[in-house]
Amino acid sequence: MTAVRQEGGIVLIDAGMAFPDEEMPGIDLVLPDWSYLRDHRDELRAVVLTHGHEDHVGSLPYLLREFDIPVYGTRLTLGLVRPKLAEHGIKRADLREVKAGDTVDVAGFGLEFINVNHSIPDAVAVALRTAAGIVVFSGDYKVDLTPIEGAPMDLSRYAALGEEGVLAYFGDSTNAERPGYVPSERIVGETFNEVFETAEGRIIVASFASHIHRISQVVEAAKQHDRLVGVTGRSMIRNVQIARELGYLDLPQEMYVDQRDVNQIPDSDIVILTTGSQGEPMAALSRIAAGTHRTIEAGPGDVVIISATPVPGNERGVSRTINSLMKRGAEVLYTPLRAVHVSGHAAREEQKLVLSLLKPRYLVPVHGEFRHLRHHAETGVGMGIPRENIFVLENGDRMEFRDGNARKIEPVPAGMFLVDAGTVADTSESIMRERQQLSEEGMFIVVARINAQTGDLLGPPDVISRGFVDPQAQNGLVDESIGVVTQTLQRTASSHVTDWSELKKAIRKDLSSFLSEKTRKRPIILPLIVEV
């Protein structure tokens, strides 16, 4: 999410989200912190979406709960957005459809939408004509001269903008470390045909549900080899339906098999599309691998294609899924064993091509980890852009363009909102620390019964441990802990402490010190005082 602000107001480029990593137990989604937008809500004019992937549209339902602003996007992008909004009870969003080649004026911003290739149809770059000059946002792109759907990237329009003069280019950096060019998506289709040609049993293909091009290639391979297509996974079912309705996926009804009916089709006559290419624990492929899917089991004779590469942080989950599928006897194909996936992001030579056409005065690498941004910056230096004209920014950093010059100015708040059980948590750091401590150290619950009038301890306290050490290996640790807590309670009773918060604090302090000395662990300690 990038905010572009001038006198006429603020336009947002994309409204994405991220998925939680292993350090965020229990968290569903990670949203950008838009405190800055709350402070400038009267200036918000529009959200402009470059394409329909979750990391570019996923926070839109939460954003539109707070801000009533129009949303511009292409046909498929808005088609994928609508059911998300409906799920969140947003029924009257102002969605405005555009297409590549369109120009729109929004509060003094001239928006131009430029066709690019990506792993989803209807992806666009956005050129903003601002009071300071032309600013180009690449969106996610690759230069594919033989795309699965639509026309190749509109490089001629980039060249024309370059001749006109581009003030700044905010460019996709995901594959900045990768030399050369990214292969065409059609390479994957050729691999699919080879697999379909030799496979005798069922074929199961796991992909991102939003990777419509990949799904389309599976369907085309199924047509050529007389297989029906089954679909499982909530988001896969939904996106396949949307793509069919909007004409982006040619999957005839007579080829479509409901997931409840896939077992009625001979193994050699079906291919199954599924979610779970990232090893997500609750995704359909993970449940198939674990043997807990309601209708689909994997076994000998099945070929499973994982048509994606792991997003950083998901490697262990993907590896676990592959191992589980192989233990069940399935053959699993994945990169680098076979060419079952190509990236949708430009490699270094493609980035050079774009820079040579746009000839921006300033380069701002975006979309990638910090190391990717730095590599993209070095590519820009190699293309002749002065190092002082390249800005590698982090979340919250702010740039000002004035009189043709650029400089960094004071940053704005840019943390994250965490979605926990469907609710956005405004402040989450303490909760995350507690959850991490629980997952790593466990917890102790201390129950002490106290005479409400005298403050005397009524019998020994109960100490219960969870997730700390194996009960069989405690070796009297709980009994010793009871002794420590008893001493604390007797000491405070003799001091006539009646403030239970002080008593709980003393229990935590003494028991924590004891457990740390004995085990070098510091579990969460939860004292409960029962007045009798």
Residues annotated catalytic, as ranges: 172, 345
- N- to C-terminal Cα separation, the chain: 56
- The residues, ordered by sequence, that sit 6+ positions from 514 with a Cβ below 8 Å of its Cβ are 480, 481, 484
CA distance 218 to 215: 5
Q: How many CA atoms lie within 13 A of 520 on its CB side?
A: 0
Structure tokens at 306: 């994982």
Cα 64 to chain centroid, rounded: 19
CA distance 523 to 302: 45
Amino acid at 206: A
Give the start-end residues of each E strand in 258-395.
Answer: 270-274, 303-306, 331-334, 362-366
- Hunting for tokens 């990768």 — which residue is that? 178
Q: List 406's β-bridge partners, or say none.
A: 401
Length of the chain: 532
- Hunting for tokens 């004995």 — which residue is that? 518
CA distance 31 to 418: 6
Cβ atoms 76, 95 nearer than 8 A = no
Structure tokens at 531: 């007045």
Measured from the Cβ of residue 217, the count of other Cβ atoms closer than 10 Å reads 24
Structure tokens at 368: 């990638």
Cβ atoms 54, 120 nearer than 8 A = no
Q: Is 289 exposed, middle or buried, given 0-12, 13-18 or 19+ CB atoms closer than 10 A?
A: buried
- Hunting for tokens 């080829």 — which residue is that? 255
**Nearest residue to 128 (alpha-carbon basis) of 9, 292, 262, 277:** 9
Structure tokens at 515: 């457990």
